[in-house]
Amino acid sequence: MTKAIVLLSGGVDSAVTLAIAKALDHELYALSFDYGQRHAAELACATRIAGKARAIHTIVRISSFGGSALLGSGPVPKGDGECIGIPPTYVPARNTIFLAYALALAEVLNARDIFIGVNAVDYSGYPDCRPEYLAAFSAMANLATKAGIEGHGPGIHAPLIDMSKADIIVCGLECGVDFSMTCSCYDPTTAGACGHCDSCNIRLKGFAAVGMRDPIRYR
């Protein structure tokens, strides 16, 4: 077994990514971030998902600089309309900060693989979810670290990159993911997910396309 770092938010995509890394027989190190997000409930989901997968789970508390609806700057947009351009829920440089931490952890643990659950199909239009971004991060990572210059820098894997949300759900079902443990809503309450934010909309459409009822609670 070789070690793998898996970025785990607690949503559908990262839960399926963790299950894929487990199916590939990696020793799992799940990494989550508490960055002042509105939807802190996802961290509780991440902890449960990591526990079920027997992953060693680290939650890193990081400062953030605001500038996103997910951090309380302005309302979370609701509605079924297509996003035009980059939506206000974009968090500046989020995946770059997350992957930088994953890179540091990989170096310390001598892990050769980093998994991130981004996808470029149903992805809300964030710039740091695109394949060209991930390729550039990977090139940078190979120059940034001791492992990299010794020729064994970590691979950055985004196994969902070309999947639709429906594809991801099907893949997760095949890998035994319990979707009732996941949480995706940008604006959840104790009564459940809102069912109307961009993230809920993409999720609900994905389950509808698969012909399956989403097992989480909506308010």
CB 156 within 8 A of CB 138: yes
Which residue, 57 or 203, is less far from a second copy as judged by CB? Answer: 57
Of 15 and 46, nearer to a second copy (C-beta) is 46
* Cα 81 from chain centroid (whole Å): 23
Q: Which stretches of the chain bind a second copy, using CB under 8 A?
A: 60-67, 86, 90, 92-97, 99-101, 103-105, 107-109, 127-128, 130, 132-133, 136-137, 139-141, 143-146, 148-149
DSSP of 56-93 = EEEEEE------SGGGTSSPPPBSSSPP-SS-TTPPTT
Nearer to a second copy, 29 or 186 (CB): 29
For a second copy, the closer CB: 51 or 127: 127
CB of 56 to a second copy, least distance (A): 12
Beta strand segments in 9-63, E: 27-34, 56-61
CB of 139 vs a second copy, minimal distance in Å: 5
Q: How far is the CB of 64 from a second copy (least distance, A)?
A: 7
CB 182 within 8 A of CB 11: yes
